[in-house]
Amino acid sequence: MKVVEILFYNSHRVKLVVEMPDPNKYSTRHSPHIPGLLFKLLPQLARHRCENDGGYSFKKECQSTEIPHLFEHLIIELQARAQPSGILKGETQWNWRVDPKGRFHVYVDYENEVLVLGAIRVAERIINALDNRSIEDIDMDKEIENLKMLAKLGSDLQKFRVSTCTP
């Protein structure tokens, strides 16, 4: 899975364009090992709420869902672990009548723009490590520590604004 575009959609929401390298392998139905490994890495994800057509719990939904949808929940979870915030929401959409198959549009709320960029990159790495069955490459505690540092940097930056404009 690859994030090909990051757009700061408005002051609290980021939009990502995500592409699957194999457009026919976009669901956990095609990669059933991914959700199991993901909940092993971050058991708290099981508490996530998720609105889906079947009315399933997020954990049940994960057995058959789009991989970018897991990615969306992961970005939300990583932000929550790094910095207390209000409820952050997300949404995953696709329309393959318009876009090539395997492209997704993922929307995620944020409060701290530096943190959300870090969380997107870490989440992308985690999803790819899960896909390759190499979760030993992910040091979750260290990743969260790094994200906490980014969160602090981001909130320090929000305290002041400087304009330096040169031709």
How far apart are the C-alpha atoms of 60 and 52, rounded to whole Å?
A: 11
Give the integer Cα–Cα distance in Å for 109 and 76. Answer: 8
**Closer of 50 and 149 to Zn ion (Cβ):** 50
| Residue 88 found at the interface with Zn ion (CB under 5 A) | no
Site stretch for Zn ion (CB under 5 A), options 42-50, 103-111, 124-132, 144-152: 42-50
Pick the closer one to Zn ion by CB: 50 or 153. Answer: 50
Q: Is 17 in the site for Zn ion (CB under 5 A)?
A: no
Instruction: Please count the residues of this chain forming the interface with Zn ion, following the rule CB under 5 A.
Output: 1
Of 35 and 154, the one with the shorter C-beta distance to Zn ion is 35
Q: Return the closest-CA partner of residue 83 out of 123, 109, 112.
A: 112
- Ranges within 135-164 binding Zn ion (CB under 5 A): none
Is 50 a binding residue for Zn ion by CB under 5 A? The answer is yes
Instruction: Compute the least distance from the CB of residue 146 to Zn ion, in Å.
Output: 25
- Distance, CA of 149 to CA of 162 (rounded, Å): 21
Q: How far is the CB of 12 from Zn ion (least distance, A)?
A: 18
Least Å distance between CB 103 and Zn ion? 18
Alpha-carbon gap, residue 135 to 133, rounded angstroms? 6
* Residue 94 dihedral angles phi and psi, to the nearest 5°: -155, 155
CB of 90 to Zn ion, least distance (A): 7
Instruction: Please name the residue ranges forming H helices in the chain.
Output: 33-41, 58-61, 67-82, 113-131, 140-157
Q: C-alpha 9: how far from its chain's center?
A: 15
Q: Can you give the binding site for Zn ion, defined by CB under 5 A?
A: 50
